[in-house]
Amino acid sequence: METPNIRTRNPEATRKAIIDAARHCFAAGGYEDVGVREIAAQAGVTAALINRYFGSKEGLFAEAVPPTLEIGLFLDGDMRRFGERAATIMVMKSGNGYDPMLALLRSMGSRIAVPQLRAAIDKQVVEVLAKRLEGPDRLMRAGLIIAQLTGFDVMMRALSSAHMAGAQMTSDDIGRMRDHLAKSIQALVDNN
């Protein structure tokens, strides 16, 4: 006798599916343009279940987007080569999968999302980087480094600037672009 196919509840898998769907939706449309029902449909759950897990769209956003802002890979190594390492990572970003930068950019007009994003960037990125810098104005310099990397990312991937991400760029062009970015970032690291 065959046993019926009974679907078991798995709260961790459900939570992950909701967060994955939220990340995808927020990256595609931003905080203001995405509804809980849209996220629920993508996750294969009900809007009521999202509210039960996260309390609200704001609670879901806070749990889904800011925790993905992370700088660990950039800090993995000697700070005398930070600029080179950071520039290489930024130039080589593939854009596959979830992109917290797109979620951040598309949510900048939200009075609800911006304070969460600001706090996450300050705590998880700027302050972490500043601890690795030496000399005066460490927080300011860390903020400038992140602003430069963010601006590069926006121009390169979100706006696909013809002068930075155009199909006509050769590998030599890309190498020179990476070198310019590396020098600019390293000057802030070294306080020059």
Closest among 117, 12, 6 to 67, alpha carbons compared = 117
Domain 67-189, what fold? Answer: Tetracycline Repressor; domain 2 (1.10.357)
Render pLDDT for 112-150 as a digit per residue (tens, 0 to 9): 888 888 888 898 899 999 999 999 999 999 999 999 998
Q: Which residue has the higher pLDDT, 190 or 96?
A: 190
| Predicted pLDDT at 160 | 67
Distance CA 113, CA 69 (A): 14
Residue extents of the structural domains in the chain: 11-64, 67-189
pTM for this one? 0.74
Superfamily of domain covering 11-64? Homeodomain-like (1.10.10.60)
| Predicted pLDDT at 161 | 63
Residue with tokens 């709260």, as numbered in its chain: 11
Q: Is the pLDDT of residue 4 over 50?
A: no
